[in-house]
Structure 1
Amino acid sequence: MMRFKGKSIIVTGAGSGIGRAAAWLFASEGGRVICADINDGADRIAEEIGDRATAIRMDAGCEEDVVRAVDLAVATHGGLDIMFANAGISGGMANIFDTDVALITDVLRVNLIGPFLAIKHAAPRIAERGGGAIVLTASVAGIRSGAGSPAYSASKAGVINLAAVAAQQLSGSNVRVNAICPGLTETGMTKPTFDYAREAGKVDRIGRLNPLRRGAQPEELAKVAAFLASDDASYVNGQAIAVDGGLSSSHPVTKQEYGKTAV
């Protein structure tokens, strides 16, 4: 497939995890990708991809940096078709009473203001090209409690709502806005959890609360983001798609093994 042939694309958080996998996927299907990250991961992934990628160091929560990334896409590729606002930080696992204002402010700045800025500055450029797509990375932590810290969960709930609001406010522009809601995925953010499980011989416990009984790999999330960014999803707009092995499909219940009768 060459779903992104000739398309100008920005991926934030492209240096690792879901962003890295998405940058590779977009480029492999013909896209020209601006690989944006706050560290040298952007340079590494762009070098690996080759002439279809350009690196830029940027802070996703800084308006000036977001404008620079959009301007680079326009200058390098003649415009912008797709924005994947994927960059995010975890903010640790502190509870409400141990979370200070500085921490939650920083998490909201990157995780929620970042996607807001991406929409604000990318959408007009995408509309100029006749339309396209914006994909935001939210989380199952934004759907309901139990999957992240208060700061992280609140930020991702905001992203889910932002996708819906932006879709409405972009009515008539042919710019679609959707979000993906990853479950437990092996990224730089979750690497310590996966590494510990392997070292302790407890890999079978990773993702045990979802029906697929496993965690996800970044490529699995990148494929869903690419679907939403492509014309295959031309009538999908304002949605938050859970990609979590079924974790968010149920309220807590007694687990039943396939082929066995619950007692």
Structure 2
Amino acid sequence: MGRLEGKRAIITGAGSGIGRASAVLFAREGAKIIAVDRMEEAVDETAAMVREAGGEISSVAADAGDEDAVKGIVEHCVSKFGGVDAVYANAGVSGGLVPIEEQTLEYWQEILRINLIGPFLAIKHVTPLMIKQGHGSIVCTASVAGLRANAGGLPYSASKAGVISLVQTTANALYGTNVRVNAICPGLIETGMTKPIFDGARARGKEDKIGQLNPLARYGHPEEIANMALFLASDEASYVNGQAIPVCGGLSSTHPFAASRPGT
């Protein structure tokens, strides 16, 4: 028996990185998967990987920050698999590092729409089903950047701090329902979103320096975040609720940084 045997799970941002690793792992542990990503070709590749490994999956090209799309994804999971036991609201964007004086309203709105409104929409549309069935687990991707400063850009960090508050407040709003809501706070993980950081370091011959600020002195891998998502989605985490759990090699214990003045 797998750790998610018989479970039905929705995973957003499943076209690459953490979402893809989670889809593969969840399916290997027995879950039936609805994999969601804006990039159709990428999410279809994830589905092919899962099927090749013997898993059951349906891929959906959709925007996780669009309410009609999210509602349709939940309905699709119910129609195809008969219900929803777990949701991993993982889709997100970094927005890069833009000086504050150059940040526009639209720039902030798009990052918040995907990173924060997306998880809210997933929670909004799946909780009625989970409450009715008497159980469910919702996992959201936050970030160590949402815990304190100097781990990401301004709107990205603010959006991830919002995700942390969202899971805390929602866990309490769902008092007595047996629906759990938690967040994962990854540190520096090699994904498509962080590719520019890794490419730049490698181009300068500094790959060995990537991740050096955390006590493990290395960067993380998508599979290491997927392992935490698996735990939180499973019944093994039946008494874990309203938490934001760092998976960061210890970075969040200090958040060391190199200070710089504006314009330098």
The corresponding residue for 2:260 is none
Which residue of structure 1 aligns with residue 69 of structure 2? 65
Aligned to 1:76: 80
Are 1:157 and 2:161 matched, yes or no?
yes
Give 3-state SS (helix, strand or coil) of 2:88's partner. Answer: strand
Q: Which residue of 1 aligns with 2:261?
A: none
Given that residues 180 and 241 in structure 2 are in contact (C-alpha distance below 8 angstroms), is that contact kept between their aligned partners in structure 1? yes
User: How many Å apart are 1:6 and its aligned residue?
Assistant: 1.0
| Alignment deviations for residues 44-103 of structure 1 (CA, whole Å, 9 cap, x no partner) | 111221150101111011000000100010000000000000000111111322110000
Contact 2:8 2:33 in 1 (8 A): yes
Q: Aligned in 2, Cα 1:252/1:42: closer, same or farther, shift over 3 Å? A: closer
Percent identity of equivalent pairs: 56
Q: What's the counterpart of residue 43 of structure 2?
A: 42
Contact 1:80 1:129 in 2 (8 A): no
2:116/2:160 contact within 8 Å kept: yes
Alignment gaps of 5+ in structure 1: 254-263
Q: CA deviation at 1:251?
A: 5.7
* Match 2:115 to one of 86, 97, 111: 111
Aligned to 1:9: 9
Aligned partner of 1:125 among 116, 122, 129 = 129
* 1:187 corresponding residue in structure 2: 191
Instruction: Give the conservation status (yes or no) of the 8 Å contact 2:50–2:56.
Output: yes
2:262 paired residue number? none
The residue aligned with 2:230 is 226
CA distance 1:26–1:251, change in 2 (3 Å): closer
Partner letter of residue 50 of structure 2? Answer: I
Q: CA separation in 2, counterparts of 1:59 and 1:128?
A: 26
SS of aligned partner of 1:102: helix
> Which one is further off, 180-189 or 124-133?
124-133
Alignment correspondent of 1:239: 243
Report what 1:23 is aligned to: 23
SS at match of 1:26: helix
Counterparts of 2:132 and 2:29 in 1: how far apart (Å)?
Answer: 23
SS at 2:177's partner residue? coil
**Contact map agreement 2:211 2:217 (CA 8 A) in 1:** yes
Q: Give the deviation of 1:200 after TM superposition.
A: 2.7
Deviations 1:4-60 (A, max 9, x none): 111110000000000000000000000000000011211111122115010111101
1: CA distance, partners of 2:239 / 2:155: 32
Q: Secondary structure of the equivalent of 1:145?
A: coil
Residue number in structure 2 paired with 1:259: none
Q: 1:200 maps to which residue?
A: 204
Q: TM-score, structure 2 length as denominator?
A: 0.93
Give the Cα–Cα distance (whole angstroms) in 2 for the partners of residues 152 and 160 of structure 1.
13
- SS state of the match for residue 54, structure 1? strand
Separation (CA, whole Å) in 1 of partners of 2:127 and 2:23: 19
Alignment length, in residue pairs? 253
Q: What is the RMSD computed on CA atoms of the aligned residues? A: 1.3
Contact 1:10 1:36 in 2 (8 A): yes
- Report deviation, 1:193: 1.5
Return 120-129 or 135-144, whichever deviates more: 120-129
Structure 2 unaligned residues grouped into runs of 5+? 258-264
Aligned residue identity for 2:106:
A
CA contact (8 A) 1:95 1:150 kept: no
Residue 250 of structure 1: CA displacement?
Answer: 2.0
